[in-house]
A and B are shown apart, each in its own frame.
Chain A
């Protein structure tokens, strides 16, 4: 069975790879493009560790075939920091100690970014429900939620300035 050729935009840059039809976008990101920041925690869309943003929508990359990425714009954790400068979300996660083992962190950060893109002033409840698809077993979510809301406040401040 011959491989498919896929061209897409990944973190703002053109990217190409070959893949078997049955391979997921997560596998292609990790194995073909070397972007191992997105993780497999479950392979069934229940944990969110593989979260990426496709054409502006938050999705689980384990639930997309790599072939479906043709022509799409994909943002992964590797694209969150700009030129070595951490995104406010990343900075707040560090300041609030919102990570312990760090495995769910890339998925959480991508999901949080997607939240703040559509809702710059989320309440605690809105934040929790938005992030319900990102499992964390270490933190109990407390510091994660604080970090996201604190980053949201910082970003609102920046926009006003």
Chain B
């Protein structure tokens, strides 16, 4: 008889100690849109589920010093409705709101998406491009880490025993900057991204790109920061040469596999295409802010 217990602690510290006590068979429950699928498929057989949703602050978005603090269990639907967040980080918001269906959006969280550690997670390329950080709670207390440090491989995170994400923090967007996220899927909805591209651009007063961060999803074991792809855009006004450089660098950064969702060759080509298109969208958004 499977022994499954369920706890809904009302403080972060209680959650951390419950998780630590549960050891390897304990699992965090946020929106549940990944966990319950894995439970049902028999891929996971936890002994303890720790539900974060009753921890104060786990659900909600607040502004802080021009940036944003997003509770770990905040569903995509709430994120999509937050006008301030959408104004500041349209790419992060559109990425998060692409996850699954309307029903999934009613529950799925950014933190869950990140910690599930699928290389195809939609919110993650945009979060990484935005230089988001996360607050991690564990038995030893709290620590902060950049979002890209969380996933270390498909389905694996760097979180220690008893550790979980409490919050994701987005910095204040620099002036004349904007982000964008695009993904490629076979249908129009409901698919896991075959490729995802998040681009975050900052322009100087004359419209020249002064900072560019490009992150690519589903083209490697984790979401990749495509450093050279970003560098290819700096110093230009997103002309054709810059975009061609971006395309080439994005493709070079890819290390995809072929699977039932796409071939490696296809993924590589599309990474270039989406990086371009996302860069163009981000550029126009940034210009509109100038």
Q: Interface residues, chain A, CB within 8 Å of chain B?
A: 1, 4, 20-22, 24, 43-46, 48, 51, 54, 57-60, 62-65, 67-68, 70, 111, 114-115, 129-134
CB distance from B2 to the nearest CB of A (A): 7
Q: Are B100 and A133 in contact (CB under 8 A)?
A: yes
A50 closest partner in B (C-beta): B103
Residues in B neighbouring A24, C-beta threshold 8 A: 36, 40
Q: Is the interface of A mostly helix, strand, loop or mixed?
A: mixed
How far is it, in angstroms, between the C-alpha of A133 and the C-alpha of B102 when the chains are bound? 6
How far is it, in angstroms, between the C-alpha of A4 and the C-alpha of B106 when the chains are bound? 24
Q: Are B101 and A133 in contact (CB under 8 A)?
A: yes
Q: Interface residues, chain B, CB within 8 Å of chain A?
A: 1-6, 8, 29, 31-33, 36-37, 39-41, 49, 51, 53, 75, 77, 100-104, 106-107, 188-190
Cross-interface CB contact of B101 among A43, A48, A67, cutoff 8 Å: A48
Residues in A neighbouring B107, C-beta threshold 8 A: 57, 59-60, 63-64
28 A–B contacts, CB within 8 A, in A order: A1-B4, A21-B49, A22-B4, A22-B39, A24-B36, A43-B40, A44-B40, A45-B37, A45-B101, A45-B103, A48-B101, A48-B103, A57-B107, A59-B103, A62-B40, A63-B36, A63-B37, A63-B103, A64-B32, A64-B36, A65-B6, A67-B8, A68-B32, A68-B51, A115-B102, A129-B188, A130-B102, A132-B189
Known: A60-B103, A114-B102. A65 touches B189 (CB 8 A): no
Q: Are B41 and A60 in contact (CB under 8 A)?
A: no
How far is it, in angstroms, between the C-alpha of A20 and the C-alpha of B269 when the chains are bound? 48
Known: A21-B4, A58-B102, A133-B190. A44 touches B29 (CB 8 A): no
Q: Are A132 and B102 in contact (CB under 8 A)?
A: yes
Number of A-B contacts (CB under 8 A): 96
Since A4-B6, A65-B32, A68-B29 are in contact, a sample of 10 more A-B pairs with Cβ atoms closer than 8 Å, ordered by chain A residue number, is A21-B49, A22-B39, A24-B40, A45-B36, A59-B103, A60-B103, A65-B6, A132-B101, A132-B102, A133-B101
CB distance from B223 to the nearest CB of A (A): 22
Residues in B neighbouring A22, C-beta threshold 8 A: 2, 4, 39
How far is it, in angstroms, between the C-alpha of A46 and the C-alpha of B110 when the chains are bound? 19
A110 closest partner in B (C-beta): B103
Residues in B neighbouring A46, C-beta threshold 8 A: 101, 190
Known: A57-B75, A65-B29, A68-B51. A133 touches B36 (CB 8 A): no
Q: Are A59 and B6 in contact (CB under 8 A)?
A: no
CB distance from B192 to the nearest CB of A (A): 11
Closest 4 pairs (CB-CB, A-B): A133-B101, A132-B189, A21-B6, A57-B106
How far is it, in angstroms, between the C-alpha of A107 and the C-alpha of B1 when the chains are bound? 33
CB distance from A71 to the nearest CB of B (A): 9
Q: Are A21 and B5 in contact (CB under 8 A)?
A: yes
Residues in A neighbouring B188, C-beta threshold 8 A: 129, 132
B1 closest partner in A (C-beta): A1
Residues in A neighbouring B101, C-beta threshold 8 A: 45-46, 48, 60, 132-134
CB distance from A98 to the nearest CB of B (A): 18
Residues in A neighbouring B77, C-beta threshold 8 A: 57
CB distance from A62 to the nearest CB of B (A): 7
Residues in B neighbouring A133, C-beta threshold 8 A: 100-104, 189-190
How far is it, in angstroms, between the C-alpha of A90 and the C-alpha of B32 when the chains are bound? 30
How far is it, in angstroms, between the C-alpha of A65 and the C-alpha of B32 when the chains are bound? 8
How far is it, in angstroms, between the C-alpha of A58 and the C-alpha of B53 when the chains are bound? 17
Residues in B neighbouring A114, C-beta threshold 8 A: 102
Residues in A neighbouring B4, C-beta threshold 8 A: 1, 20-22
Residues in A neighbouring B104, C-beta threshold 8 A: 45, 60, 63, 133
